[in-house]
Amino acid sequence: MIVTLTANPSLDRTIELAAGLTRGAVQRATANREESGGKGVNVCRALSAGGAEALAILPGNDDDPVLTGLQSAGVPYRNLPIPARLRSNVTITEPDGTTTKINEPGPVLDRREADALIELVVEKSDGAAWLVLAGSLPPGLNQDFYATVVRAVRSRYGERSPLIALDASEAALVAAINEGAAPDLLKPNAEELSQLTGLGEGNSLEDNEGLAVEAATRLLGRGVRSVLATLGSKGALLVTADGAWHAQHPPITALSTVGAGDSALAGYLLAHTSGGSAPDCLRQAVAHGSAAASLPGSTVPALHQTTPGAVVVRALAPVN
């Protein structure tokens, strides 16, 4: 079982344009889609599509469109009812693959709701192989929320604790690393890798493989066991105490990059729970991410839609 937590889920609306986006103009959409989203939800959707036993945990009322969407899609979930509607996010995609996102902040969660959400995660983590903590935090939650979840789970189960994967950004990401709650697997993008380590700037690590490996290696020194760094069109890196690898898929026609990183994480977990080696896990991660980018909106790929055999994996020299 793989459990995912999405503290700030969303109803993701994707609007496809026939031409480039023009500010201030009236444009007609050629298509639109609605899907239950939020990073942890997307990971759970991709895991379910890959045949894994997975459970999404999230706040929201039974009749919220995000929850009814999961139910319609057959994705298992447990929800914490709250007195507010979940947020909506809007994505605008252009024919050349350019993606513009507008994300709402989400409903405020108070201390009582935060504690109840943590307890629900702890309860459902019993016997799980992995716990995935992913996405932004809604208003009202402290930035150390993920660190608190990690400590609560590990305190309850000790050596029986599930492996923990973290995919977050900004203060919530920094807090988890700096407050003694480092995950077993961290999945940053290039910008987040730079933010955590001070190496590079913005997305510059996408073009500097050696510096990206050095940045990931620094995180190992801060308690993280494995770093899966997605580098956009440049593929991904996996750095562990046993080695470092780079993987890249042949060029694809990208329709939407929304959720591609979430699918990459799901691909890694699918391979890991099947006993795959580190390079195998990286290979499936890149295959999943590439397949997701070639699909519209935040559609997640099934296993048969991925092409791991096309992914080239290279072992890299370690950083001393």
**CATH number of the domain enclosing 8:** 3.40.1190.20
pLDDT band at 201 (very low <50, low <70, confident <90, very high): confident
Q: What's the chain's average pLDDT?
A: 94
Give the DSSP letter of residue 313: E
Number of domains in the chain: 1
CA 95 to chain CA centroid, nearest Å:
25
Classify residue 139 by burial, with Cβ atoms within 10 Å: 0-12, 13-18, 19+: exposed
Helix 278-293 × helix 260-273 angle, to 10°: 150
pLDDT in tens, 253-277: 887 788 899 999 999 999 999 999 9
User: Which pLDDT score, from 0 to 100, does residue 320 have?
Assistant: 60
| Contact yes or no for 75/47 (Cβ under 8 A) | no
Query: For the residues 193-204, what does the mean pLDDT come to?
Result: 87
User: Which pLDDT score, from 0 to 100, does residue 222 have?
Assistant: 92
Range of the structural domain that residue 68 is part of: 2-21+28-316
Specify the pTM: 0.94
User: Which pLDDT score, from 0 to 100, does residue 180 have?
Assistant: 80
User: Which pLDDT score, from 0 to 100, does residue 164 have?
Assistant: 98
User: Which pLDDT score, from 0 to 100, does residue 254 have?
Assistant: 84
Answer whether residue 319 shows pLDDT above 80. no
pLDDT in tens, 106-128: 999 999 999 999 999 999 999 99
Query: For the residues 153-162, what does the mean pLDDT come to?
Result: 97
Answer whether residue 237 shows pLDDT above 70. yes
